[in-house]
C-alpha cells in the first residue's frame, strides 16, 4: 500500500510572505493543503508547519521576544511579563488590520 500524502520535501508553495518583522524567517503558503510553512529565509529550510497564520506568527515573535530559559538564565516575573507584553503588542500590530484599530 502506498503512503499517504506527498513525498518528503514535496510542497506546492503558491504564496510567499516576506516582512522585516518576521526575519530570519519568511512564510510560505501551501494553498493545496491550506498550511503555512515557517521557512528560514537564508537557507530555505522549513522549520515548522502550521494550520493558521496567527499561530505561525506567534511562534516567530515568541522566539524573538519571550525568554525560553534554554540558556540557563533565570528570569524575573517582571522580565517575562514584559516580554509577553511586547509579544502581544507585535501580534496586534501584525494581525489587526488598520481599519479595525481604534483611532
Domain ranges within the chain, ordered by starting residue: 15-100
Task: Please state, for a pLDDT cut of 90, what percent of the chain lies above it.
Answer: 28
Coil, strand or helix at 33: coil
Which pLDDT score is estimated for 9? 54
More confident position, 8 or 23: 23
CA atoms of 95 and 28, how far apart (whole Å): 17
Weakest mean pLDDT among 38-47, 55-64, 91-100: 91-100
- The answer to whether 39 and 23 have CB atoms below 8 angstroms apart is no
Pseudo-torsion of CA 78, 70, 58, 26, nearest 10°?
140
Average pLDDT of the segment spanning 16-26:
90
Helices marked H in 31-95 = 53-65, 77-95
CA atoms of 60 and 24, how far apart (whole Å): 9
Amino acid at each position: 500500500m502506498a503512503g499517504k500524502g506527498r513525498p518528503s520535501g514535496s510542497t506546492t508553495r503558491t504564496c510567499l510572505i516576506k516582512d522585516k518583522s518576521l526575519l530570519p524567517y519568511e512564510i510560505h503558503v501551501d494553498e493545496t493543503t491550506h498550511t503555512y510553512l515557517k521557512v528560514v529565509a537564508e537557507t530555505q529550510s522549513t522549520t515548522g508547519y502550521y494550520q493558521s497564520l496567527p499561530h505561525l506568527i506567534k511562534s516567530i515573535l515568541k522566539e524573538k521576544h519571550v525568554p525560553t530559559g534554554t540558556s540557563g538564565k533565570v528570569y524575573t516575573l517582571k522580565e517575562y511579563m514584559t516580554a509577553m507584553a511586547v509579544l502581544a503588542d507585535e501580534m496586534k500590530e501584525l494581525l489587526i488590520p488598520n481599519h479595525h484599530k481604534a483611532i
